[in-house]
Structure 1
Amino acid sequence: MSPPLFTLDAILAATGGRAEDVASDAINSISIDSRELGPEALFVAIKGDRFDGHDFVDTALANGAVAALVSEGRSEGPGRIVVADALGGLRDLARAARARSRGFIVGVTGSVGKTTTKEALRLVFEAAGETHASIKSFNNHWGVPLMLARMPESAQFGVFEMGMNAPDEIRPLSQMVRPHVAVITAIAAAHLERLGSLENIARAKAEIFEGVEPGGAVVLNADHPQINILLEAAAAAGITRVVTYGFGRGVDWQITEVETAADKSFATIVQGDEQYALTLGVPGRHMLSNATAALIVAHLAGIEPQVALRALAAFGAQPGRGQRLVFGPTDKPLVVIDESYNANTASMAAALAVFSGIEAPGGRKLVVLGDMLELGADADALHAGLADAVRASGAERVHLVGRHMAALAAALPEALVASHSSTIAEAVDVIMGDLAYGDALMVKGSNGVGLSRIVTEVKAKFAQS
């Protein structure tokens, strides 16, 4: 029988809390959502932007949680573990989980490709041993400690995604995770509203170096002009093991001989005198770049290259991040490329480049593009700057959603713009009425625009037709 994730005594020791009539001595899962509770769950009552977990403690306990971690003075009754601050207590549990771990720990950040690289690493590590990885995009001030606290002591590998919207956000996350390897996937125009420049974005991402374990390594995508900022920051953090990768010359691991098909990608990865044939079950140069980062980390972890390459061959796109969906008759299906989760200038250009290689099965090529959020004063110009990439994608009809997409509408030929709506609510009926079997559709925009609703509507209509 496996040991519990935490004993009650271990929780009290880690948090300095006190137990109020907690009946169970074993905690085997941790949740911050009273509706999603695992077995023998500890419910952590954190205060979020919209909800306060303390309002749901009784619900969580009624739904099967064996205990609730609550802030002093916020919730009373049996089944409580009372600490000074519930989120602080969750962080204490995260540090305790990391302190007892003997696993190989990896931290991943970057403007684009974080989640995809994390998922590629999860696949590779699972082929080599027990692996614990962040779910979804739980990468912020509560997501990282939640994911770290859930890591079993027996895990041989741990992979944690770290995100940020402003300076000084990644540093404490990395210092909590203490990765043996830190990966920065790319620097691109995201969160410019708060950070102001690509250089500042690079410096904020480089905060991940400050948590790297002594003797650890960093893996850096060199295909952006800010690479020198990252190299300087790594040196300032005392990190001597720096590995670069990319499509250009002069990197430690070079991606060459690239081929992409509708649902696959191929490349030769050159590292010194060694060459590796990389195959993925998803199209796109950016996907090859993310997978190369995973291959490098596997090498640093001592995993045989062929083990990593076989695992990566099964790698496919995730929902909202390039997943390919097919509906209807085999001879004339509706093909949907779901890129609805997030967007910035780099990921938008990459997605449109992939779409350029996709053929409509017997109809038209359409794209739905939503605003790229948090781009600051240059937002309109950056949206207008997508015009060449849209034209090169081969799209015949373009539906635009969001205030800043008006700038792109003005930069495109009038005949190409099928519609422009301020909100997704206004756009849904227009877009759905324009789709038919045989079409190829790509949906791409920042998560806050809500374009995932289009994908949901397509599934509901065309999967049942």
Structure 2
Amino acid sequence: GGSAILNQDSPYFDLLKKRALQAGVDNISGFGKAAAADVRLVKMALHNTCSCVSAKVFGDDVTFKLGSPGEHVVMNTLSVLAAIRLVDADLALAVLALASLSPPKGRGVRVQLSARDGEFLVIDESYNANPTSMRAALALLGRAEPKQGGRRIAVLGDMLELGENAQELHVGLVEPVDEAAVDKVFACGEMMAAFWHHLPPFRQGIWKATSGELEQHLLDDIRAGDVIMIKGSLGSKMGPLVEALKQRFGVENKAA
């Protein structure tokens, strides 16, 4: 008995479905962009601080605003809609609530701070990181629009526990950094060293072994108009960099 909600876009969907059936699950639903998905993304408009989404939920048309930005959040929300329908809860009330969705600490919270000559924006993604979430965060940075004279700055720490392919997976971030039109990269950690050295010189801010060693270099480089995204695994200790920025420049407000 029971239900399973699976990502229909995953290359492992068929395997997961097979395993679910073997485990005795008798109600399997799929979500994603695939035409066969029970909860299917029809259209999305991605913005700096929100997304507008149209979806088919078990055949019904649903349109809603999502208060937290990013395609990855949109896709996760589709699975939530599937669960709501499966337990026969009020779908209309649920999609209204999604408009006020906000990210938890360290997972995309935006904080506006004041430099000497104006404000800058920090996107706090410091709680954790893996290759998929790192690419999603870089895509968010790419959609952010720095104010006049500002830059897109990525501050990246090691993604931990990736096994024997760790270095290759870190170097693989060069492409999404380029796609996001990042102006400058600060990096720390053993694995991030290889990534940083593969960047073109004009993007290289500085690399240090630890986030603590990186801190002062970052603080001294900030200027008005910048958009700064900070991300790494929890063990890379990127959160203290966010706190250092707040202490140095003072918390103005969470960005709308």
Band the TM-score falls in, shorter-chain normalisation: over 0.9
The match for 2:4 is 218
Decide which of 162, 166, 171 is 1:375's aligned counterpart.
162
Q: Does 1:436 align with 2:219?
A: no
**SS of corresponding position for 2:41:** strand
Higher strand share: 2
Query: 1:442 deviation in Å?
Result: 0.3
Contact 1:328 / 1:463 at 8 angstroms: preserved in 2?
Answer: yes
Decide which of 246, 249, 255 is 1:459's aligned counterpart.
246
- Counterparts of 1:320 and 1:252 in 2: how far apart (Å)? 32
**SS of corresponding position for 1:458:** helix
**SS of corresponding position for 1:425:** helix
Kindly tell me: are residues 410 and 304 of structure 1, through their superposed partners in 2, closer, same or farther at Cα, counting changes over 3 Å? Answer: same
- Counterparts of 1:302 and 1:401 in 2: how far apart (Å)? 47
Decide which of 106, 130, 152 is 1:344's aligned counterpart.
130
User: Normalised by the size of structure 1, how large is the TM-score?
Assistant: 0.52
Decide which of 206, 211, 217 is 1:419's aligned counterpart.
206
Contact 1:332 / 1:361 at 8 angstroms: preserved in 2?
Answer: no
The match for 1:333 is 119
User: Normalised by the size of structure 2, how large is the TM-score?
Assistant: 0.93
* 1:152-167 paired onto structure 2 within 5 Å: none
Q: Does 1:353 align with 2:174?
A: no
Question: What fraction of aligned residue pairs are identical, expressed as a percent?
Answer: 33
Decide which of 240, 249, 252 is 2:26's aligned counterpart.
240
The match for 2:174 is 387
- Counterparts of 1:410 and 1:338 in 2: how far apart (Å)? 24
CA offset digits 1:430-452 (Å, max 9, x no partner): 11111122110000110100000
Q: Which amino acid is the alignment partner of residue 243 of structure 2?
A: T
Which structure would you say has the larger RCO, counting Cα contacts within 8 Å and 6 or more residues apart?
Answer: 2
Q: Which amino acid is the alignment partner of residue 380 of structure 1?
A: Q
Q: Does 1:253 align with 2:71?
A: no
- Counterparts of 2:163 and 2:236 in 1: how far apart (Å)? 16
Decide which of 291, 302, 326 is 2:77's aligned counterpart.
291
Contact 1:399 / 1:419 at 8 angstroms: preserved in 2?
Answer: yes
The match for 2:108 is 322
The match for 1:406 is 193
Query: 1:288 deviation in Å?
Result: 0.6
**SS of corresponding position for 1:309:** helix
The match for 1:24 is none
Decide which of 57, 60, 78 is 1:274's aligned counterpart.
60
CA offset digits 1:125-166 (Å, max 9, x no partner): xxxxxxxxxxxxxxxxxxxxxxxxxxxxxxxxxxxxxxxxxx
Decide which of 226, 230, 235 is 2:16's aligned counterpart.
230
Query: 1:332 deviation in Å?
Result: 4.3
Contact 2:41 / 2:56 at 8 angstroms: preserved in 1?
Answer: yes
* 1:197-216 paired onto structure 2 within 5 Å: 215-216=1-2
Contact 2:124 / 2:242 at 8 angstroms: preserved in 1?
Answer: yes
The match for 1:142 is none
CA offset digits 1:201-230 (Å, max 9, x no partner): xxxxxxxxxxxxxx3111112222122221
Contact 1:317 / 1:324 at 8 angstroms: preserved in 2?
Answer: no
CA offset digits 1:175-216 (Å, max 9, x no partner): xxxxxxxxxxxxxxxxxxxxxxxxxxxxxxxxxxxxxxxx31
Contact 2:183 / 2:203 at 8 angstroms: preserved in 1?
Answer: yes
- Counterparts of 1:268 and 1:366 in 2: how far apart (Å)? 32
Tell me which structure has the larger Cα radius of gyration: 1
- Counterparts of 1:428 and 1:229 in 2: how far apart (Å)? 45
- Counterparts of 2:220 and 2:33 in 1: how far apart (Å)? 41
Q: CA RMSD in A?
A: 1.6
- Counterparts of 1:223 and 1:454 in 2: how far apart (Å)? 35
Query: 1:262 deviation in Å?
Result: 0.8
